[in-house]
Amino acid sequence: MTQKILAAHAGLDSVQAGQLVLAGLDLVLGNDITSPVAIKEFAKLGKDSVFDRNRITMIMDHFAPNKDIKAAEQCRMCRDFCGEMDITHFYDVGEMGIEHAFIPEKGLATAGDLVIGADSHTCTFGALGAFSTGVGSTDMACGMATGKAWFKVPAAMKIELKGSLRRYVSGKDVILNIIGRIGVDGALYRSMEFTGEGLASLSMADRLCIANMAVEAGAKNGIFEVDVTTLAYLKEHGAAEPNVFKADADAVYEEVLTVDLSQTEPTVAFPHLPGNARTFSEIGDIKIDQVVIGSCTNGRLEDLIAAAEILKGRKVAKGVRTIIIPATQQIYLRAMEMGLLKIFIESGAAVSTPTCGPCLGGHMGILAAGERAVATTNRNFVGRMGHVDSEVYLASPATAAACAVTGRITSPWEVMGV
Amino acid sequence: MKYTGNAIKYGDNIDTDVIIPARYLNTSDHKELASHCMEDIDKSFVSRVKQGDIIVAGQNFGCGSSREHAPIAIKASGISVVIARSFARIFYRNAINIGLAIVECPEAAENISEGDMIEADLDNGIIHNITTGRDFRTEPFPEFIQNIIENGGLMQSVAKGLIR
């Protein structure tokens, strides 16, 4: 699928793994951290316009609402640049959401698109059937100027899904399991292509979460075969007409991995790598200080619904700071209308405006030395959420909510009596 | 391109959060970034790194975030080349795009010790360990990438009209 999308955008009939191509871009994305570097690079060209003002988006989500004066200046630089270049899709506080939740919701990407973003989790849009990958700021600058980027065509790794998920098990558990199996460089440079009869049972929220963390296995991109669920989602969100690429029956895969969704259990990735995945038979009594439910990985409405189901009528354990961050304004609004926010606040959780915030140790929930957090985010590297001696355990929204209730690392099956 | 310097060694999966922690990403000033380079994994790096030194690391170097601040911090701290068993792909292209020399060479990564004097001859694809006298062969860059590097980086290639 990936190779076909790259070939189509490079004006070639076909491409081979390892081939270098210069390809046209449908969307170029940046945030408040990576865009300032790209804007400085762009300025070196002395150009007074971008390649297409409708195909660039800048979203102020990482250190916004501005966490300090320097962050405020970085956001202002983006705001000024987008004003000067008359960029259509600039999104600031009050309108913005976490970029990888926001873009699909806004219908800014569609199946068959080629998307680059100066953010590693740009691979999320592979869930829509797009080729979508994270790049650096210089690539973003080049993309803004020319509408093109260079790519080495990745080899493909097939992930064959079968069965369907059990109660309180989600896409997050699936991807943590996969990374646990293959390691944090198990898909290095490769495209992870998700397919199989199990696909039909996965919601778009699950698929977006799985594609989001393809980069944590080292992959260039993660891409899902387009089906009726994808097409319905794209239509609902007003995305452009999809261009569906299907893998050939004789497509070449470097590796094939079979994942039985029905055997997947609640999973936690231990510090300090997303690949340190364990299921609850291997987890002892671990006390925690904080829970974070949100991020580009798990801040979607379905994630909040899963957390609310567990927190409803229960209280967050004393001493566990529970922070819930809807990923977009739209999700926040829907959560309010559905009464989810009431459930969260009554349980003793704090609810925040959309931001990447604590996921990368920016703001809104930084850890002190020796503290432990369970987070629905995507990375648990040393110092990721604060002090170098703090720890982050990655889990699904259901597991994180269960941990908030007990104050220790707990399976949602235990809390819900499964 | 030929670089000479002492090796500073690291292990596997050195991620961009330890190369430059996110708490410092509220700036893109190269010197300021360099002053916090490797801080969360090696507090002594900033004080001991010398101009021209070479980082030698294990597999998946630069994994994690797409922050270009990571190769920028390494380059601005004086490092001339990073040699690793393998690199995370976004870090790899970012390094090329900003003109930080980067070499994938498992054999060199294994057989170079902390402090060894290294000469990296990238034109001919030879890593020479001056301290031990051993040589290691590497894959030279493909022509497409060589063009970017020879022109001083991706933006310079765009400015010269090589990428339209």
- Beta-carbon separation of B23 and A362 below 8 A: yes
Chain A positions touching B28 (Cβ under 8 A) are 36-37, 40, 74
Cα A225 to Cα A128: distance, rounded to the nearest angstrom: 8
Q: For residue B151, what pLDDT is reported? A: 79
* Whether pLDDT at B145 is above 80: no
Distances (CA, A) of A393 to A32, A204, A269: 26, 24, 6
Tell me what percent of the residues of chain B surpass a pLDDT of 70: 95
Phi, psi of A4 (to 5 degrees): -70, -40
Contact residues for B151 (Cβ-Cβ < 8 A; gap 6+) = B157, B160, B162
Is A220–B69 a contact, with Cβ atoms under 8 angstroms apart? no
* Per-residue DSSP letter, B129: E
A38-76 pLDDT, tens digit per residue, is 999 999 989 999 999 999 999 999 999 999 999 999 999
Q: Can you tell me the mean pLDDT for A243-259?
A: 96
Chosen for mutation from A184, A355, A364, A389 (greatest number of chain B CBs closer than 10 Å) is A184
DSSP state of A400: H
Average pLDDT (A120-148) is 97
Candidate from A70, A141, A361 with C-beta closest to B155 = A141
Q: Which of A26, A88, A36 is CA-nearest to residue A62?
A: A36
Distance CA A293, CA A398 (A): 9
- Stretch B34-41: mean pLDDT: 96
Quote the pLDDT of residue B122. 85
Q: How distant, in Å, are the alpha carbons of A43, A113, A135, B28, B153 from that of A38? A: 9, 22, 11, 10, 14
Please give the Cα distance from A185 to A187 (Å, whole number): 5
Whether residue B1 is predicted with pLDDT greater than 90 in this model: the reply is no
Confidence of residue A18 (pLDDT cuts 50, 70, 90): confident
CA nearest neighbour of A371 among A401, A385, A349, A391: A391
For A257-268, how does the pLDDT look when each residue is reduced to its tens digit (9 = 90+)?
Answer: 999 999 999 999
- The residues on B that touch A, with CB distances below 8 Å, are 13, 15, 17-18, 21-23, 25-28, 40-41, 59-60, 63-69, 71-72, 86, 88-90, 93-94, 97-98, 142, 144-145, 148, 153-155, 158-159, 163-164
Helical spans, DSSP H, in chain B = 16-19, 30-34, 45-48, 69-76, 89-98, 106-111, 143-150, 154-159
Residue B14's contacts (CB-CB under 8 Å, 6 or more residues apart) are B41, B57, B58, B60, B61, B62, B63
The whole-number pLDDT of residue B164 equals: 59
Q: Which pLDDT band, with edges at 50, 70 and 90, does A114 fall under?
A: very high
Helix (H) / strand (E) element for B104: namely strand B101-104
Closest chain B C-alpha to A111 CA, distance in angstroms: 23
Please, which residues 369-388 of chain A have a Cβ atom closer than 8 Å to chain B? 379, 381-384, 388
Classify each residue of A54-86 as buried b or exposed e, where b means 16 or more C-beta atoms within 10 Å of its C-beta: ebbbbbbbbbbbbbeebbbebbebbeebbeebe
Mean pLDDT of A87-113: 98
pLDDT of residue B154: 87
Tell me if A215 sits within 8 A of A121, measured CB to CB. Answer: yes
User: Is A28 within 8 Å of chain B by CB?
Assistant: no
Which pLDDT value is given to residue B41? 95
Count CB neighbours of A227 within 10 A: 15
What average pLDDT does the structure give for chain B? 92
Q: Does A19 contact B at CB distance below 8 Å?
A: no
Res. B144: pLDDT tops 80:
no
Q: What band does B129 get if pLDDT is binned at 50, 70 and 90?
A: very high
Nearest to B91 by CA among B18, B2, B34, B9: B18
Positive or negative CA dihedral for B139, B57, A270, A207?
negative
Residue B163 has pLDDT above 70, yes or no: no
Q: Do B23 and A361 touch (CB under 8 A)?
A: yes
Tokens of A55: 């195909």
Residues 6+ apart with CB under 8 A from B70: B16, B19, B20, B62, B91, B94
Among A33, A44, A382, beta carbon nearest to B67: A33
Distance CA A351, CA A349 (A): 6
pLDDT band at A338, cuts 50/70/90? very high
User: How many angstroms separate the CA atoms of A138 and A38, rounded?
Assistant: 6
Q: Do A33 and B142 touch (CB under 8 A)?
A: no
pLDDT at A331: 98
DSSP A274-342: TT-EEEGGG----B-SEEEE-HHHH-SHHHHHHHHHHHTT--PPTT-EEEE--SSHHHHHHHHHTTHHH
Binned at pLDDT 50, 70 and 90, residue B160 comes out as confident
| Average pLDDT of the residues of chain A | 97
* C-alpha distance from A395 to closest chain B C-alpha (Å): 18
Which tokens is A203 given? 């919601």
Q: What angle do CA A15, A17, A23 make, to 5 degrees?
A: 50
With CB atoms and an 8 Å threshold, state whether B15 touches A379. Answer: yes
* Per-residue DSSP letter, A263: G
Residues of chain A contacting B64 with CB distance shorter than 8 Å: 120, 379, 381
Q: Mean pLDDT over residues A328-345, rounded?
A: 98
In angstroms, the CA A343 to CA B69 distance is: 40
Task: Judge whether B1 and B101 are in contact, CB under 8 Å.
Answer: yes
pLDDT at B128 over 80: yes
* Separation CA A379–CA A387 (nearest Å): 15
pLDDT > 90 in chain A, percent: 97
pTM metric for this prediction:
0.95
Closest approach of B157 to chain A, Cα-based (Å): 9
| Strand, helix or coil for residue B157 | helix
Stretch A176-189: mean pLDDT: 96
A20 touches chain B (CB under 8 A): yes
Helix axis angle, A35-43 relative to A69-84, nearest 10°?
50
Instruction: Identify the residue among B29, B33, B89 best suited for mutation to test binding to A, counting A beta carbons within 10 A and taking the highest.
Output: B89
Contacts of B161 in chain A (CB under 8 A): none
B143 has a pLDDT exceeding 90: no
Out of A100-109, A124-133, A282-291, B137-146, least confident range: B137-146
Average of per-residue pLDDT across B129-133 = 98
Interface test with B, best of A119, A188, A364, A394 (most B CBs within 10 A): A188
Mean predicted confidence (pLDDT) in A100-121: 98
Does residue A277 have a pLDDT over 90?
yes
Length, in residues, of chain B = 164
Give the tens place of pLDDT for each residue, A191-241: 999 999 999 999 999 999 999 999 999 999 999 999 999 999 999 999 999
Q: Looking at residue B8, what is its pLDDT?
A: 98
Question: So what's the pLDDT on residue A119?
Answer: 97
* Beta-bridge partners for B117: B6
Flag if B89 and A218 touch (Cβ within 8 Å).
yes
